[in-house]
Amino acid sequence: MIPVTEFRQFSEQQPAFRVLKPWWDVFTDYLSVVMLMIGVFGCTLQVMQDKIICLPQRTAASNQTAALPNRTQAEPEDVSLLAYQEMTGLKTDLDLQQYSFINQMCYEKALHWYAKYFPYLVLIHTVIFMVCSNFWFKFPGSSSKIEHFISILGKCFDSPWTTRALSEVSGENPEEKDHQKLSASRCSIGAAPEEKVPLEKTQSLRSIPEKIVVDKPTAGAMDKKEGEQAKALFEKVKKFRLHVEEGDILYIMYVRQTVVKVFKFLLILAYNSILVPEVQITVKCHVDIQDMTGYAHFSCNHTMAHLFSKLSYCYLCFVAVYGLTSLYTSYWLFYRSLKEYSFEYVRQETGIDDIPDVKNDFAFMLHMIDQYDPLYSKRFAVFLSEVSENKLKQLNLNHEWTAEKLRQRLVTNAHNRLELQLFMLSGLPDTIFEVTELQSLKLEILYNVTMPASVSKLEDLQELSLYQCCLKLHTTATSFLKENLKVLRVKFDDSRELPGWLYGLRSLEELYLTGSLSSDVSKNVVLESLRELKCLKALTLKSNLAKIPQSIVDVSSHLLRLYLYNDGTRLVMLNNLKKMVNLTELELVRCDLERIPHAIFSLSNLQGLDLKENNLRSVEEIVSFQHLRKLTCLKLWHNSITYIPEHIKKLGSLERLYFSHNKIEVLPSHLFLCNKLRCLDLSNNDIRFIPPEIGVLQSLLYFSVNCNKIESLPDELFFCKKLKTLKLGNNALSLLSPKVSYLALLAHLELKGNHFEALPAELGGCRALKRSGLQVEDTLFETLPSEVRAQMKTE
């Protein structure tokens, strides 16, 4: 007997694949098992029992042939004589072997082929049905995707993050809380041990609120390891989605196997309906073997005919049901959009609005999952949501960055504020808002970060720096920053990355923008709204400006400091500067200026001007600075200036003058008529001589002539008794005057890179000068008397 289990390999698949078998596939599988049993049963009967039994059929010719030739039947005969009389002619009886031979001959020639092979046909058709139902689970191109999908689906379903994410959403909606209380009182709810959350059993996607009755402490109990596993799941789902949505092989394979089943159903129904009547109990058989048996006509009984007839009708009924189910499957495949899957109901019921719709094979598998249990799709959808992923990242971030760890990273910045810098994090830890003493927050290379309403806890926060950081604000956070933020620094790659909320910071006093802007900024809407910053006092732009934007002019009424740092792009059309009459500080750095812009001379309140790293060769226009009565700091360093005009003497208010890194060879004596100078930097030039008029600068505190060609120092230099810093390094000096002792306040003296053979012992008179402030070669330092060296080494 053939066991049914021998055919298991045709329909066997992994137990996990059951989630991709809708009810019709399960139903047809059971029908296949029943039809398989019919086939196996019929085959077993064919093997174990006689197939046909035949008897000779007497005719008139056969009766005469069978009569004895020597006497008739009417003649009386003694019974005892018949017993010993030898019979002659053809015998009329048949032995067992002849009957067996006749049965076989009639079975092969007279019995209809359908009656003979019916069980085998049933068996073959059923095996084909079974193969068709499960072929997409076996085909290499589709089975790999299915296995990967089932693996991810199971992990998503059992992940603690799924429960937590849905429970948090559920907890955010007060109406849902009421619904949960009602449902909890009406339903008895059980949960799987892995999920630790009771779920309501539902039958359709529309009726799944996973309006879960959430136990808040349990939902929150998610350790770091579980968070990392959930994070890995998000990455797997992203990659799987990209891979599967590219093609539709699963859909095509399932459609093809369904079409084959429908075709088989029609074929079986057609030819079986015609051939079932051919299965008859009595079969007339004519075999030309009269010479062997004496008979040519036989009447045969097909022993299985009655049973096979009933089985065939029963089989046709099952095939009909199977076919109708396959037709329904075809209708479902062709009249529904199975290559697109919408999570609209999930979005409505969970509140996670960013769950994307999917397509192709991904959509098809989700449709199949819904036929098994819609809850799978809902829990799987959590891992398609960026909002959910961001919440998970936030949770992991909070585990990693505790408030204590953040406090350890606090430093005091250049503006004497407590600053916290966060670099290349996946988000903004919520624990930041527990560090209430924070005054400055620096975020660098953080993407898609949202500042929550809890930022209002940082009452001392005044400074915010965003470097390649896309920051969004909660409504409450926007209101808080509008009132409290004083300093904002933004570094960007594209002007479109500038946050729109910065233009509403009405309390902002300092704004620093670093990034590439278009060459025609006046047409750039990005900067049009600066006029709304009514408290703005300082503006720094590090970009590629070709002209001063009109939006900057619009804030000129309260703007005090303007710093423009170009990337070498020539700044033209500076007439707008004339309108910025309240400016006290102006820096135009790397703007490729060849002359000092005349518009600057209209800034009557200007106190400091920096024209660093331009292309200035002549500064004859410096005479016009005499109208700027408040100008105290002038920086013309890092240019190509070859001389200082005599008109410099008219700048009587100057206190700090920087001519370093130019090509100056001669110092005019008129320079030292600016007797208010406290800082004079002439380093990195070609100066050979310092005029004795330098002694006029009695207020001088800082004097640098490093990296020049000076061979000697005038004694008048040492009459500047307020000097605290004197830099003479990298020159051609060979002697330091003993009068250096006049500089009692000198704290920093640089002598390296000269031709000194010894240092004067009078350096001991510079009581403020210590070894750390004396920049000189060690061998030269040893030439000082021991008591002077000891004095300098004592701090």
Checking if the pLDDT of 157 tops 90, the result is: no
Give the residue among 261, 279, 354 at the shortest CA–CA distance from 35. Answer: 261
Angle at 764 between CA 761 and CA 770, to 5 degrees: 125
Asked whether the beta carbons of 639 and 616 are under 8 A apart, the reply is: yes
Interval 525-532 mean pLDDT: 63
Q: Is the dihedral of CA 524, 525, 531, 532 positive or negative?
A: negative
d(CA 783, CA 776): 11
Interval 601-617 mean pLDDT: 93
Q: Which of 245-259, 328-342, 654-668 has the highest mean pLDDT?
A: 654-668
Query: pLDDT tier at 529 (50, 70, 90 boundaries)?
Result: low
Question: 510 pairs with which residues across the strands?
Answer: 487, 538
Checking if the pLDDT of 87 tops 80, the result is: no
Checking if the pLDDT of 29 tops 70, the result is: yes
- 722 phi/psi in degrees, rounded to 5: -90, 0
Query: pLDDT tier at 740 (50, 70, 90 boundaries)?
Result: very high
Contacts of 655-660 spanning 24+ positions with Cβ under 8 A? 655/679, 655/699, 656/632, 656/680, 657/633, 657/681, 658/634, 659/685, 660/684, 660/685, 660/704
Proportion of the chain above pLDDT 70, given as a percent: 84
* pLDDT tens per residue, range 557-602: 889 999 999 988 888 878 888 888 899 999 999 999 999 999 999 9
DSSP-derived 3-state class of residue 201: coil
What pLDDT was estimated at residue 222?
Answer: 60
* pLDDT tens per residue, range 761-780: 999 999 999 999 999 999 99
d(CA 259, CA 106): 40
Query: pLDDT tier at 393 (50, 70, 90 boundaries)?
Result: confident
Checking if the pLDDT of 520 tops 90, the result is: no
- DSSP E strand stretches across 232-357: 282-286, 297-302, 340-341
Query: pLDDT tier at 739 (50, 70, 90 boundaries)?
Result: very high
DSSP string, 50-69: --EEEEE---HHHHHHHS-S
What pLDDT was estimated at residue 518?
Answer: 63
Interval 600-619 mean pLDDT: 93
CA distances from 722 to 247, 438, 729, 744 (A): 82, 40, 20, 8
Max CA pair span of the chain:
182
Q: What is the mean pLDDT of the chain?
A: 80
Checking if the pLDDT of 475 tops 60, the result is: yes
* pLDDT tens per residue, range 214-226: 333 333 456 667 7
Query: pLDDT tier at 411 (50, 70, 90 boundaries)?
Result: very high
d(CA 239, CA 355): 16
d(CA 152, CA 146): 10
Give the residue among 777, 743, 745, 780 at the shortest CA–CA distance from 760. Answer: 780
Asked whether the beta carbons of 161 and 208 are under 8 A apart, the reply is: no
Asked whether the beta carbons of 632 and 654 are under 8 A apart, the reply is: yes
Q: Which two tokens stand for residue 518?
A: 């278009």
What pLDDT was estimated at residue 94?
Answer: 67
- The CA-based dihedral angle spanning residues 175, 176, 182, 184, taken in that order and rounded to the nearest 10 degrees: -160
Checking if the pLDDT of 6 tops 60, the result is: no
Query: pLDDT tier at 169 (50, 70, 90 boundaries)?
Result: low
Determine how many CB atoms are found less than 10 A away from the CB of residue 393.
18
DSSP-derived 3-state class of residue 562: strand
What pLDDT was estimated at residue 243?
Answer: 81
Interval 691-713 mean pLDDT: 94
What pLDDT was estimated at residue 763?
Answer: 92
Interval 433-448 mean pLDDT: 90
Q: How far is CA 322 from the centre of its chain?
A: 46
Asked whether the beta carbons of 618 and 641 are under 8 A apart, the reply is: yes
Residue type, 737: S
Is residue 359 packed enough to be buried (19+ CB in 10 Å), middle (13-18) or exposed (0-12)? middle
- 778 phi/psi in degrees, rounded to 5: -60, -40
DSSP-derived 3-state class of residue 108: helix
Task: Count CA within 13 A, CB hemisphere, residue 560.
Answer: 7
* pLDDT tens per residue, range 375-389: 888 877 777 777 777
Interval 82-89 mean pLDDT: 45
Is residue 483 packed enough to be buried (19+ CB in 10 Å), middle (13-18) or exposed (0-12)? exposed
What pLDDT was estimated at residue 78?
Answer: 46
Give the residue among 704, 716, 708 at the shortest CA–CA distance from 733. Answer: 708
Question: 442 pairs with which residues across the strands?
Answer: 421, 465
- Helices marked H in 600-692: none
DSSP-derived 3-state class of residue 359: strand
What pLDDT was estimated at residue 699?
Answer: 94
Radius of gyration of the chain (CA): 51
d(CA 194, CA 191): 8
Q: Which of 76-85, 466-475, 632-641 has the highest mean pLDDT?
A: 632-641
* pLDDT tens per residue, range 51-80: 778 878 766 554 444 444 444 444 444 444
Q: Which of 77-91, 224-238, 273-287 has the lowest mean pLDDT?
A: 77-91
d(CA 768, CA 747): 5
Task: Count CA within 13 A, CB hemisphere, residue 340.
Answer: 6
DSSP summary character for residue 338: T
Q: Which of 415-419, 566-570, 745-749 has the highest mean pLDDT?
A: 745-749
* pLDDT tens per residue, range 253-310: 888 888 998 998 899 888 888 888 888 888 888 888 777 777 788 888 777 788 888 8
CA distances from 608 to 617, 630, 647 (A): 20, 9, 18
DSSP-derived 3-state class of residue 151: helix
Residues near 291 by beta carbon (within 8 Å), at least 6 away in sequence:
none
What pLDDT was estimated at residue 388?
Answer: 74
